[in-house]
Amino acid sequence: MSVFLVSDVHLSARRPERVAAFLSFLGTRARGAQRLYILGDLFDLWLGDDDTTPPHPAVLDALSRLTDSGTAVYALHGNHDFLMGPGFETHTGCRLLPDPWVANIYGRRVLLSHGDRLCSDDLEYQRWRASTRDPEHQRAFLAQPLAARSERAARIRKHSVERARLKPQDILDVSQQAVVDAMRAHGVDCLVHGHTHRPAVHRLSLDGRPGVRIVLGDWYEGDVLLRWDERGYRLAELGSAQQTLIAHKLGSRP
């Protein structure tokens, strides 16, 4: 049985074809999987567990059917849906995991993360991330009416896009030192993350030992996922009839 990992699906009513593709995936290939890990930004915007903006209800129902079928689903928060909480878990049967999380996948310890915490050179973003993850800040925000939350989120997003245009591209990517530090701290030689929307497999050295960092892509136009089974792992596009590999098939060891 396969284990699937996806990130940055960014489901939104503005992209109905991507919603349809993800719902199809949940109802077909994912249904026969052992586990599905969603590494953040499942939704383009999640303003609280009372946010029933389409396509949220349809996606939650589909996830519920998937977990009822026997596939275990785990999710991490992203920078677009960090307000997913107990209501999301109750409705879907999914389990929210802390970031980062060490998973055992076919006998290998794999560090999972959304990836934004690894962009440590972007100090402005890290300050914003810390404030928005603060429980008191979240309680105050969620106490506001949904319409007010939506207006504020729109202002924040506009400001974020404007600020990102002014930053060098290397600042927006993960810090290699942060990657090595995280892998070393958790005693792993494999890290899987999203956030940067730059799907690739990166080889690296960890204190003289080989390691690998696998970056998942987004679903804005395609549908990049990582499929892992007893033969190894593939970074692939689900929509291709032949499962066109973005990175050629790799063994289970780096």
Cα–Cα dist 224/246, whole Å: 9
Q: Are 6 and 36 in contact (CB under 8 A)?
A: yes
Cα–Cα dist 176/122, whole Å: 13
Mean pLDDT within 205-230: 94
Query: Residue 214: is its pLDDT beyond 60?
Result: yes
The pLDDT assigned to 9 comes to: 98
Cα–Cα dist 18/241, whole Å: 17
How large is the angle between the packed helices 146-165 and 135-142, nearest 10 degrees? 130
Mean pLDDT within 28-45: 97
The residues pairing with 213 across neighbouring beta strands, listed in sequence order, are 191, 202
Query: Residue 243: is its pLDDT beyond 60?
Result: no
The pLDDT assigned to 164 comes to: 77
Mean pLDDT within 139-156: 97
Mean pLDDT within 129-150: 97
Query: Residue 35: is its pLDDT beyond 90?
Result: yes
The pLDDT assigned to 247 comes to: 44
The pLDDT assigned to 163 comes to: 81
Query: Residue 250: is its pLDDT beyond 80?
Result: no
Question: What does the pLDDT look like over 67-84, one tens digit per residue?
Answer: 999 999 999 999 999 999
Mean pLDDT within 161-170: 80
DSSP letter for 175, please: P
Q: Identify the band that residue 222 occupies on the pLDDT scale cut at 50, 70 and 90.
A: confident
> What sign does the dihedral 18-23-24-28 (CA atoms) show?
positive
Peptide bond into 100 cis (omega under 30): yes
Instruction: Give kind and range of the element (H or E) at residue 67.
Output: helix 56-68
- Domain encompassing residue 120: 3-250
Cα–Cα dist 73/96, whole Å: 9
Query: Residue 168: is its pLDDT beyond 90?
Result: no
Q: Are 254 and 207 in contact (CB under 8 A)?
A: no
Question: Domains in the chain: how many in total?
Answer: 1
Q: What is the pTM of this model?
A: 0.93
Question: What does the pLDDT look like over 40-66, one tens digit per residue?
Answer: 999 999 999 999 999 999 999 999 999
Query: Residue 241: is its pLDDT beyond 70?
Result: no
CATH code of residue 30: 3.60.21.10
The pLDDT assigned to 160 comes to: 86
The residues pairing with 113 across neighbouring beta strands, listed in sequence order, are 193
